[in-house]
């Protein structure tokens, strides 16, 4: 795994080393606006085949983000009130509606040309959800999918939110997995525009606390394996 500073400076191993697998990038704790600008820059470089497939791994400072579906972007207080609490509100072009990010939540952003690995949009979303399931399994929390509601659930409680954007055949945005974060931030929105939904995290569900650095290593191994397996399946 490389650090984001190494990737942006070009101080990384030869691209040839990553022709057949994604490059996982540790972004640490990153301001969301900065992370979004980095995603846009890297998306362009992946689309132009200047970089291999990437998976950005990060946490964010408190922020509320809005998706493309205006009817699903529901704030329960004004932007001015949120900004007074040092909570940014950032519009994006990903799918889905309003969601929240803060420290203790693991956020994964795949930036990859789907066709290079044989992904279609549905199988790609399924793979991201499967990656989230594997992360939460490490904390001893079992999750399920729900038809028509991307993300992951523990019974009727939502524990991971998913929203992607595909442009020029290359993905960006991804999945946010609630592990050890403060869930009060979700009280300021209707998460994903789903009335009455209850948010949860691994700790609330009785999960064990695994160090983030250990979980990042698991993400890297799991995502690499999943992408290579998908590529091999497609080639056969």
- Is the separation of the CB atoms in 188 and 88 below 8 Å? no
Q: pLDDT tens across 175-224, in order?
A: 999 999 999 999 999 888 788 889 999 999 999 999 999 999 999 999 99
Output the CA–CA distances (angstroms, integers) from residue 200 to 6, 136, 161, 180, 197, in the order listed. Answer: 34, 12, 11, 10, 10
Which distant-in-sequence residues (6+ apart) come within 8 Å of 195 by Cβ? none
Q: pLDDT tens across 94-130, in order?
A: 888 889 999 999 999 999 999 999 999 999 999 999 9
Exposed e or buried b per residue across 79-98, where buried means at least 16 C-beta atoms within 10 angstroms of its C-beta: eeebeeeebbbeebebbbbb
Give the domain range for residue 21: 2-235
Q: What tokens appear for 224 in the block?
A: 């690499």
Q: pLDDT tens across 11-47, in order?
A: 765 555 556 789 999 999 999 999 999 999 999 999 9
Predicted pLDDT of residue 14: 54
Cβ–Cβ contacts within 10 Å for residue 129, how many? 19
Predicted pLDDT of residue 185: 95
Residue 27 catalytic? no
- Is the separation of the CB atoms in 128 and 162 below 8 Å? yes
Q: How far apart are the C-alpha atoms of 171 and 53, rounded to whole Å?
A: 10
Q: Which of 24, 27, 192, 227 is catalytic?
A: 192
Above 80 in pLDDT, residue 235? no
Predicted pLDDT of residue 94: 87
Checking DSSP bridges between strand 149-154 and strand 170-178, what pairing results, if any? Answer: unpaired
Predicted pLDDT of residue 206: 96
Q: pLDDT tens across 118-175, in order?
A: 999 999 999 999 999 999 999 999 999 998 898 999 999 999 999 999 999 999 999 9
Predicted pLDDT of residue 13: 58
pTM of the complete model = 0.93
Predicted pLDDT of residue 53: 94
Predicted pLDDT of residue 17: 57
What does the H/E/C string look like for 189-223? ECHHHCCCCEECCCCCCCCCCCCHHHHHHHHHHHH
Predicted pLDDT of residue 76: 87
Residues present in the chain in total: 236
Output the CA–CA distances (angstroms, integers) from residue 62 to 65, 150, 167, in the order listed. Answer: 10, 22, 27
Q: How far apart are the C-alpha atoms of 147 and 150, rounded to whole Å?
A: 7
Domain count, the chain: 1
Q: Which domain CATH number covers 111?
A: 3.30.930.10
């Amino acid at each position: 795994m490389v650090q984001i500073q190494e990737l942006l400076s070009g101080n990384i191993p030869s691209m040839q080393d990553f022709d057949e697998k994604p490059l996982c990038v540790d972004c640490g704790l990153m301001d969301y606006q900065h992370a979004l600008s980095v995603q846009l820059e890297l998306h362009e470089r992946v689309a132009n085949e200047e970089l291999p497939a990437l998976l950005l791994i990060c946490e964010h400072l408190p922020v509320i983000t809005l998706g493309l579906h205006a009817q699903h972007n529901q704030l329960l207080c004004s932007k001015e009130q949120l900004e007074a609490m040092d909570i940014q509100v950032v519009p994006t072009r990903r799918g889905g509606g309003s969601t929240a990010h803060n420290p203790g939540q693991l956020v994964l952003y795949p930036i990859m040309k789907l066709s290079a690995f044989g992904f279609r949009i549905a199988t790609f979303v399924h793979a991201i959800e499967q990656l989230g399931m594997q992360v939460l399994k490490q904390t001893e929390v079992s999750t399920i999918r729900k038809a028509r509601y991307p993300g992951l659930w523990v019974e009727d409680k939502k524990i991971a939110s998913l929203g992607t954007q595909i442009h020029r055949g290359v993905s960006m945005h991804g999945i946010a997995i609630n592990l050890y974060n403060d869930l009060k931030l979700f009280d300021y929105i209707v998460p994903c525009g789903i009335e009455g939904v209850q948010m949860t995290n691994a700790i609330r569900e009785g999960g064990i606390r695994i160090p983030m650095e250990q979980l990042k290593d698991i993400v890297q191994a799991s995502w690499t394996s999943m992408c290579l397996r998908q590529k091999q399946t497609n080639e056969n």
